[in-house]
């Protein structure tokens, strides 16, 4: 019952969430020379590092691979940055928490929304890059085009994008609720999360293709199938850069996973928040 | 609000978990080198007895608090350090939920519990006012209406548009007080803050407390200053070790508390002398 009360309170006080979001965004890049430009530069520079390694040093992929990389990176970063940010948010706002009453769930929620905002900027960077590559691809000779493994395309499948992003956001939010509580009870949380994210990052198809995984072993393939990020990446890429219809089973899978993560995360948060505040 | 503002606390118990880091032995105290830390780290993993060096114990900060207050009351809460005064205010402010018993508060709550420490140091005073106002439940327009009055009461000049991290503790407290007062709460909770500002500010704050009493609102304030209790409070509550020792007219309770404190100071004096020689 108290979980529902907490949920209602959070919805009633959504203006507070809004203020926390704008605070996070305002203070994030204030007083930097490049300011909010960093929201574009960050994901792009991240992508360039991997592109340099995979395409230039190892010489295996064409320039279109940039889009494949970037689309994976921005998805994973939304999740990782929300969860990591949430793990410290109750601790960092301890003074405010001790001073006034407000629904504490607003804090991890605001972290996730602020990171969703970053995601939107990164998405804009991706689309700019895509426009450039589509233009380039249009002027290729048929022979050159045939050589491209995964030709880019843009079309009606983009309509699936909002649903994929919504599921991704809810999944990140749900896990953020859990990490916010874990961060209070265990000071080791950021260390553990750092390890988990590094492993998860390499186990997810960010800079390799699903067919590469399939060749490896059935065990790895099984993990690939249950890893929600395989599906998030595949669906986002299908709708955004390949214009393919998304598989409905994959879509159903991420929707169920996301709603489950959100419900479990919020229940844990609501049940533990009272004890957590006293631990701060 | 049709209901009269006020609060009802019934048999409120609240516990903290306190982590004790006790040195196990003299050797453990000496072993503060890196090697020692590594060894004790591994040791605590291998040996469960070693890890019990860090013990968690329940500490009951409030032990059966029952009291209520209604409109027009200005309640001063006095008592020794660690008596549970601030925890009590936090329960009234709904910041903490009691482990046992019930705490009901009627009306909107304004809190001033920690010298405006809740301000975000990276935001300017102005931005903090909007943030705090929103957290306390005001709309953007309502805050705009009160901005002039808040600026006037806080009286921190150009610093209003500087990051709150650059404020002195007095400035932070003044801005915090100005915000808390101007959200026009039915119940105002204050924790040892009024004393922070300069004399001029204290006068202004005092006038406001009198106004609150006149408007039949409820104020609870924790203080160590006998003169504040005497001057502004209609009632006083004396707390010791998580319990209410005395609750009544401000002058009576204060007199008893001061006499008790004096007695303790007298009793402590011979020990102090013994320690000196």
Write out the two tokens for B33.
């080198």
Whether residue B95 and residue A279 make contact (CB cut-off 8 A), yes or no, is no
A27 contacts B118? CB cut-off 8 A: no
Query: Does the pLDDT at position A55 exceed 80?
Result: no
On whether the CB atoms of residues B236 and B254 are closer than 8 A, the answer is yes
Distance CA A80, CA B189 (A): 39
Pick the residue of B17, B56, B57, B120 with the most A CBs within 10 A to test the interface with A by mutation.
Answer: B120
How much of chain B, in percent, has pLDDT values that exceed 70?
Answer: 81
Instruction: Check if A279 contacts B (Cβ < 8 Å).
Output: yes
pLDDT number for residue A251: 92
**What residues contact residue B65 under an 8 Å CB cut-off, 6+ apart?**
B9, B11, B12, B13, B84, B88, B91, B101, B242, B243, B244
Residue B1: the pLDDT is 44
Find all residues with CB under 8 Å of B261, minimum gap 6, and list them: B80
Average pLDDT over residues A263-273: 95
Interface ipTM: 0.75
Domain B6-10+60-268 sits in CATH 3.40.190.10: no
Query: Mean pLDDT, to the nearest integer, of B54-59?
Result: 79
Q: How far apart are CA B186 and CA B175, in angstroms?
A: 19
pLDDT digits (tens, 9 = 90+) for B108-166: 777 766 656 678 888 888 988 888 888 877 888 888 988 888 888 888 888 889 888 88
CA A15, distance to chain mean position in Å, is: 24
> How high is the mean pLDDT of chain A?
89
Per-residue pLDDT averaged across B7-29, rounded? 76
Contacts of A107 in chain B (CB under 8 A): none
Of B15, B132, B134, the CB nearest to A15: B134
Contact B60, B14 (CB under 8 A): yes
Nearest CA-CA distance, residue B112 and chain A, Å = 7
- Which chain B residue's Cα is nearest to A26? B123
Nearest CA in chain A to B118: A96
For residue B120, the chain A residues in CB contact (below 8 A) are 23, 27, 96
Q: Can you give the pLDDT at residue B186? A: 84
pLDDT of residue A230: 93
Taking the domains of chain B in order of start, what are their residue ranges? 6-10+60-268, 19-58
The pLDDT value given to residue A33: 81
Secondary structure element (H or E) that encloses residue A79, with its range: helix A65-92
**Cβ-defined contact of A19 to B114 (cutoff 8 Å):** no
- Which chain B residues are Cβ-neighbours of A20 within 8 angstroms? 131
User: Reduced to 3 states, what is the DSSP secondary structure of residue B110?
Assistant: strand
Sort out which chain B residues have CB atoms less than 8 A from A15's CB and list them.
134, 139
Provide the chain A residues 49-78 that lie in CB contact (below 8 A) with chain B.
none
What residue has token string 């006998």? Answer: B226
Chain A residues with CB inside 8 Å of B90's CB? 98
Taking CB atoms and an 8 Å cutoff, what residues of chain A touch B123?
23, 26-27
Contact between chains at A95 and B93 (C-beta distance less than 8 A)? no
pLDDT of the residue at A176: 97
């Amino acid at each position: 019952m108290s979980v529902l009360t907490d949920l209602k309170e959070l919805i009633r006080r959504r203006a507070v969430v809004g203020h926390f979001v704008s605070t996070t965004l305002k203070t994030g890049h204030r007083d930097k020379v490049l300011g909010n430009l960093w929201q574009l530069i960050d994901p792009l520079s991240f992508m360039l590092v991997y592109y340099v390694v995979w395409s230039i040093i190892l010489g295996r992929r064409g320039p279109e691979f940039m889009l494949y990389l970037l689309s994976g990176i921005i998805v994973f970063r939304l999740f990782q940055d929300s969860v990591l940010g949430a793990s410290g948010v109750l601790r960092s706002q301890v003074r405010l928490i001790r001073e006034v009453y407000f629904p504490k769930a607003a804090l991890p929620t605001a972290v996730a929304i602020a990171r969703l905002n970053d995601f939107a900027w990164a998405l804009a960077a991706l689309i700019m890059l895509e426009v450039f590559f589509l233009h380039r691809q249009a002027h290729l000779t048929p022979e050159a085009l045939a050589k491209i493994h995964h030709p880019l395309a843009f079309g009606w499948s983009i309509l699936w994008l909002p649903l994929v992003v919504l599921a991704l956001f809810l999944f990140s939010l749900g896990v953020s609720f859990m990490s916010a509580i874990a961060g209070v009870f265990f000071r080791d949380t950021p260390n553990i999360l750092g390890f988990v994210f590094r492993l998860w990052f390499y186990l997810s198809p960010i800079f390799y293709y699903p067919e590469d995984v399939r060749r490896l072993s059935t065990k790895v393939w099984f993990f690939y199938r249950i890893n929600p990020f395989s599906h998030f990446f595949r669906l986002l890429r299908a709708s955004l850069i390949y214009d393919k219809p998304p598989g409905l089973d994959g879509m159903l899978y991420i929707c169920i996973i996301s709603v489950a993560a959100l419900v479990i995360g919020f229940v844990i948060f609501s049940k533990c928040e009272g004890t957590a505040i006293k631990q701060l | 609000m049709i209901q009269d503002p006020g609060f009802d606390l019934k048999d409120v118990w609240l516990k903290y978990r306190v982590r004790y880091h006790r040195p196990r032995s003299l050797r453990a105290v000496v072993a503060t080198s890196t090697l020692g830390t590594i060894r004790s780290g591994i040791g605590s993993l291998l040996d469960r007895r070693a890890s019990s060096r860090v013990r968690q114990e329940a500490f009951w900060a409030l032990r059966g608090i029952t009291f209520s207050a209604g409109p027009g009351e200005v309640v001063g809460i006095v008592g020794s350090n660690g008596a549970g005064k601030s925890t009590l205010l936090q329960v009234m402010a709904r910041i903490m939920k009691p482990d046992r018993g019930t705490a009901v508060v009627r009306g909107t709550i304004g809190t001033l519990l920690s010298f405006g420490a809740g301000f975000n140091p990276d935001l300017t005073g102005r931005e903090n006012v909007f943030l705090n106002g929103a957290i306390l439940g005001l709309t953007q327009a309502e805050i705009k209406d009160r901005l002039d009055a808040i600026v006037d009461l806080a009286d921190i000049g150009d610093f209003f548009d500087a990051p709150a991290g650059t404020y002195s503790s007095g400035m932070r407290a003044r801005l915090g007080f100005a915000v808390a007062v101007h959200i026009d709460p039915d119940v105002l909770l204050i924790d040892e803050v009024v004393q922070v500002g300069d004399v001029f500010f204290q006068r202004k704050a005092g006038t406001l407390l009198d106004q609150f009493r006149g408007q039949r609102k409820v104020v609870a304030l924790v203080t160590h200053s006998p003169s504040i209790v005497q001057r502004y409070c209609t009632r006083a509550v004396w707390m010791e070790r998580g319990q209410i020792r005395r609750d009544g007219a401000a002058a009576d309770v204060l007199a008893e508390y001061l006499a008790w404190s004096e007695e303790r100071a007298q009793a402590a004096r011979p020990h102090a002398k013994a320690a000196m020689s």
